[in-house]
Structure 1
Amino acid sequence: MANNLQPGNGSSAPWTRRGFLRSAAALAVVPVLLTADPAVAAAELPDFPDEVGLYRSAYRNWAGEITADGLWACAPTDADQVLSVVNWAWRHGWRVRPRGASHGWSPLTIESGTTSDAPVLLVDTAPHLTGMALDSRSAVRAGTGITLEALLTFLEGHGLGLTATPAPGDLTLGGALAVDAHGTAVPAHGERRTAGHTFGSLSNLVLELTAVVWDADTGAYVLRTYTRDEADCAALLTHLGRALVTEVVLRVGADANLRCLSRTDIPAAELFAAPGSGGRTFASFLDASGRAEAIWFAFTEFPWLKVWSVAPTRPLTSRRVSSPYNYPFSDNVPTVVADLVGQIVSDAAWYLAPVLGNAQLAAAALGLTATLSADIWGPSKNTLLYIRPTTLRETANGYAVLTTRAQVQRVVHEFTAFYKKRLTAYAALGRFPVNGTVEIRVTGLDHPADTELTGARAPLLSALRPSTAHPEWDTAVWLDVLTLPGTPHAEEFLRELEQFLLRSYDGTDALARVEWSKGWAYTEKAGWSDEEVLGSAIPGSFGESVWGQAAGTFDRLDPHRVFGNAFLDRLFG
């Protein structure tokens, strides 16, 4: 699938709009599952637990850059079956890779090039690990295979919700927690955190979790429940795929009705202006409402700005929405955009990136008006969830910059100015490495006190882990750049952005960390490959002691490295 997005793939057939949409749709569906021949399964996976069905499955990550065909897979019906599978894998030298929605970019599940004969077993969580129940009026117990949309729908039915969530509703809870998934929210001026909520990541809501871990006394893997005040739990809260969590209990609070205003009339030069410039800056919207997101299409002058605000009653101009995904022009690729993408990829017409950017902006501006989506209001999930699997699939880098609330506009300005300067310089050379968007979100940090649990610990490897050296840092600016897979010079350009961030925010007055689910550690040829970033910058951004504690915990809880792959082996040493 990924090769369809590469120029010169040997195919003489033109990349038509229909072909592009067909390929996008193929990525959006569940991978084909082929029931295993019992004799073949018995030969290749001897003594596999009888009660757990096996099948062959393809693997595709979000953008189709990491793919594998014919891997062995199973879908345990409960935690006990998960345990049986893991113990089988340990005894037979296999590695277990939990799979949720595969809505990620980085090689945390499998590496590119994994072959069908590799001793790698996919464990699908979404079919069965989906139980949900209220533990109390402020806590929900949920299986890690549940989707965020299902979780939020359940909570909404009980008058509960979250302050912020990732935009895709198809993410599984387990996958989201493994990479400290986040939304966009900080307190507006005068706003106070309400009970049961956090302005940090989803990982910061965990009260307890159940994981499969090694037990030296019995000489086997067992299910063990950890509470938030235990040291081992701190590593498992954001484990990057070095663990398998079957169930969690989350702190939750009262739901809120949110208004979401969209606009495309503020120039980037004003929205991303230097601090102190006045006017309609990104920080000014945070001050007013606390919740904002900018989507800036490449080579355009007017970003799509979304601003959420708490609104108990419907404003007169707002349209009430009773379900999520209220931007159909974004979920379903418009004809003009699909045609351009098809031409760019099939003809290697990368110079059309400015045309594509302006077409996407025009489609968004027109779509907001045509669908009456520029001013919507309803229960929180209906405005927070807005990305379906049918949206345009692009590759993405990702970083969080920890800073003070007062310095948010400075970080936004410095990054966007550098991005625009380098994009312009590349274009002058006839190079167009970005044909997607810059996306900017802002959150609080993972303060464990938000759980209202005495002794709660911060996630060790969350990008939102507070800095002990700089307790004044209370905010994170999330920065992503998206472009079509296979775009020439993309990795070179993204490396420049990464080096700028690591150099500019080195821990002196701000600190850059990678966003685990996305692209990072760029060489000029590939992501997740720069040895200095992998071996030094990333561990250093957390502190060697914290990084070492996390790595040591993973090795102790999984000494046989059943939960891992070659990339994670490199990352943790």
Structure 2
Amino acid sequence: MITRGGTRAGGWRNWAGNQRSTGVDVVHPAGADEIAAVLAQAAAAGRRVRPIGSGHSFTAIGRPEDVQLVLDRHVAMVDVDDTGLVTVQAGMPLHRLNAELAARGWSLTNLGDIDRQTVSGALSTGTHGTGARFGGLATQLRGLALVLPDGSRLRCSADENADVFAAARIGLGALGVLDAVTLQAEPAFALRAEEGPARLGDLLEGFEEFMTSTDHVEFYWFPHTDRCLTKRNTRLPLADGLTPLPRWRAMWDDEVLSNAVFAGMVAAGRRRPELIPRLAAVTAGGLGRRTWTDASHQVFVSRRRVRFVEMEYAVPRAEAPAILTELHRIARAGEFLASFPVEVRVAAADDIPLSTASGRDTAYIAVHVPARTDPGSWFAALESMAGSVGGRPHWGKLHGLDAATLRTRYPRFDEFTALRARLDPGGVLGNAHLDRVLGPVGG
């Protein structure tokens, strides 16, 4: 058993089960002083530390080699002021933050479709939602406090240590351990959700028009078919009233169909892969329409109980239709049998050095396979096509790129690695994965 604030030798696995570690020291610090002590002790002993949140990354970004620093005791709400600036300890899970904000009349501007991550993990890996006018979660940051590898602390904002703030908004856990973060919330709002079927060809022909047709737009394409499920969420004042789905309908759609039935189809496809195209057609054929209005965080977030591994590439928005057209050809030709839908989203350009949307309006294309499944040529095809247009992989999702290639995709890559060398010259906050994607410290 782990005692409060104690250390034990233990093992770890991520949510998908594709990343594991054994025989590491697991520590659960509470407060910045305890975090600083862990880092200082590790640095003195020549050991490496990886902070971890909820383990929702598919890459080995959080995989510990010597010491794992778990932030599950560092989860307090620090402050919410009357302008919507909310400061929280970095281990707070997003679902709890959403509930805390809603109770006070505030909402985050945009969210991804999973809320099980910690604030620190979501920020550090570049979590984003969808919306042509909106950036990822890190664009809502207004300040942060880092515990550095030598145990010192650094407060950062646009006005204080601005160079560190600029990079640490998406820091990969490589610059320091996030202690507390300040996010800009906005008055709570509702979303009118409209879901329904569409044809892939129609969406690709009018891609820009469709993806900008309202505030938050995405679609899911079912490989081996030309069918898609579209999701269009429009921002509305809470004062206009809410019309949430009846409880029975939400349970049937989101738990029974989207999770239990889908899990059965995925399992059937694993046993008999030749059935996957037929199962995809059955799933796509059952798509219906539904419209409802609810608090924003209730609409942004979906329940994901079927475990998978994922690759997602950010590409210039105009390039997405051609890539999806080629993926459709591959699936239609049977070159890979894909049982999960392909997710397509968009985001506005931002100015964060390691953001996948840095400097350009972006489309995101995500492919998935069931957990414990070889992604094979499906992931390889997306990676190759995205690479031909300068695509950038999500930092928390599977990819095969190294620092030499990533440097060509990010104009400010060397700015980030130079800052890393300054803040962590001993490579305390490293692991083999970061050595691959960022290069060795000072290398």
Q: Same fold (TM over 0.5)?
A: yes
Matches within 5 A, 1:266-305: 266-273=198-205, 281-305=206-230
State whether residues 185 and 444 of structure 1, in contact with CA within 8 Å, keep that contact through their aligned partners in structure 2: yes
| Pair 328,174 (structure 1): closer, same or farther in 2 beyond 3 Å | farther
User: Equivalent of 1:496, from 362, 370, 381?
Assistant: 381
The whole-number CA distance in structure 2 between the counterparts of 1:171 and 1:129 is 12
Give the 3 Å change call, closer, same or farther, for CA 170–485 of structure 1 in structure 2: closer
1:548 aligns with 2:433: no
2:291 corresponds to 1:379 = no
Tell me the distance in 1 between the aligned counterparts of 2:281 and 2:230.
15
Determine the C-alpha separation between the residues in 2 that align with 1:376 and 1:159: 21
Alpha-carbon distance between aligned partners in 1 of 2:165 and 2:380, rounded to the nearest angstrom: 34
1:223 maps to which residue?
153
1:460 aligns with 2:353: yes
Contact 2:406-2:437 at 8 Å conserved across structures:
no
TM-score by length of 2: 0.90
Letter of the 2:153 counterpart: L
Measured at CA, do residues 322 and 554 of structure 1 come closer, stay the same or move farther in structure 2, by a change above 3 Å?
farther
Pick closer, same or farther for the CA change 1:250–1:299 going to 2, 3 Å.
same
Q: Is residue 284 of structure 2 the alignment partner of residue 361 of structure 1?
A: yes
Residue 194 of structure 2 contacts residue 291 of structure 2 at CA under 8 Å; is this kept in 1?
yes
**TM-superposed deviation, 1:461:** 0.8
Aligned equivalents of 1:100, 1:322: Cα separation in 2: 33
Task: Report SS of the residue matched to 1:149.
Answer: helix
Mapping of 1:237-256 within 5 angstroms?
Answer: 237-242=169-174, 243-256=176-189
* Structure 2 residue aligned with 1:11: none
Is 66-75 or 301-310 further displaced after alignment?
66-75
Aligned to 1:73: 26
Question: Structure 1 residues 125 and 321, CA, compared in 2 at 3 Å: closer, same or farther?
Answer: farther
Hey, what does 1:60 align to over in structure 2?
A: 13
Deviation at 1:262, TM superposition (A): 0.8
**Post-superposition shift, 1:360?**
3.5
Aligned counterpart for 1:103 among listed residues 56, 73, 77: 56
Code of the residue aligned with 2:51 in structure 1: it is P
Q: Identify if the C-alpha distance between structure 1 residues 397 and 226 changes in structure 2 by more than 3 Å, giving closer, same or farther.
A: same
Q: How many residues align?
A: 434
1:251-302 deviation digits (Å, cap 9, x = unpaired): 22222211011102x21121222xxxxxxx4433334313111011222222
Which whole-Å CA distance do the structure 1 matches of 2:264 and 2:362 have between them? 37
Normalized per residue, which structure has more strand? 2
Q: Give 2:291's aligned amino acid.
A: D
Distance, in Å, in 1 between the alignment partners of 2:110 and 2:250 is: 17
CA offset at residue 315 of structure 1? 8.1
SS of structure 1 residue aligned to 2:402? helix
After superposition, give the CA deviation of every residue in 1:313-344 in whole Å (9 maximum; x if it has no partner). 6889x832699x95664456655433333343
Report how far residue 395 of structure 1 moved: 1.3
8 Å CA contact retained: 1:298, 1:353:
no
Distance 2:219 2:83 in 1: 34
Paired amino acid for 1:62: W
1:402 offset after TM fit, Å? Answer: 3.0
One-letter identity of the residue aligned with 2:201 = A
1:21-77 deviation digits (Å, cap 9, x = unpaired): xxxxxxxxxxxxx347xxxxxxxxxxxxxx831234432223211123453212111
Give the direction of change, closer, same or farther, for the CA distance of 1:385–1:132 in structure 2 (3 Å limit): farther
- The answer to whether 1:88 aligns with 2:41 is yes
Shift in alpha-carbon separation, 1:70–1:336, aligned structure 2, 3 A: same
Pairwise CA distance, 1:183 = 0.5
C-alpha contact 1:326 1:383 (8 A) present in aligned 2:
no
Q: Distance in 2 between the 1:321 and 1:89 partners?
A: 51
- 1:461-540 → structure 2 map (5 Å cutoff): 461-466=354-359, 473=360, 475-488=361-374, 490-503=375-388, 505-506=389-390, 512-521=391-400, 533-540=401-408
User: Please, what is the CA RMSD of the aligned residues?
Assistant: 2.6
SS at match of 1:98: strand
Partner of 1:398 in structure 2?
Answer: 312
Partner residue in 1 for 2:147: 212
Q: Give the gaps of 5 or more residues in structure 1.
A: 1-33, 37-50, 188-198, 215-219, 274-280, 369-373, 447-457, 467-472, 507-511, 522-532
Aligned mates of 1:351, 1:255 — CA distance in 2? 47
Q: Percent identity, please.
A: 23
* 1:446-472 alpha-carbon deviations (Å, 9 max, x no partner): 2xxxxxxxxxxx321111222xxxxxx
1:115-126 to structure 2, matched below 5 A, reads 118=65, 120-126=66-72
Q: Cα distance, 1:306 vs. partner?
A: 0.6
Report the secondary structure of 1:441's partner residue. strand
Please list the CA deviations of residues 145-186 of structure 1 after superposition, one character each: whole Å capped at 9, or x if unmatched.
Answer: 111111122222222212310111111100011011111112
1:144 Cα offset (Å): 0.8
Runs of 4+ in 1 over 6 A off after TM superposition: 313-316
Check the 8 A contact 1:322/1:379 in 2, yes or no: no
User: Greater CA radius of gyration, 1 or 2?
Assistant: 1
TM-score, normalising length: structure 1: 0.70
Q: Is the 8 A contact 1:327 1:386 kept in 2?
A: no
Kindly state the Cα deviation for residue 241 of structure 1 after the two structures are TM-superposed.
2.3
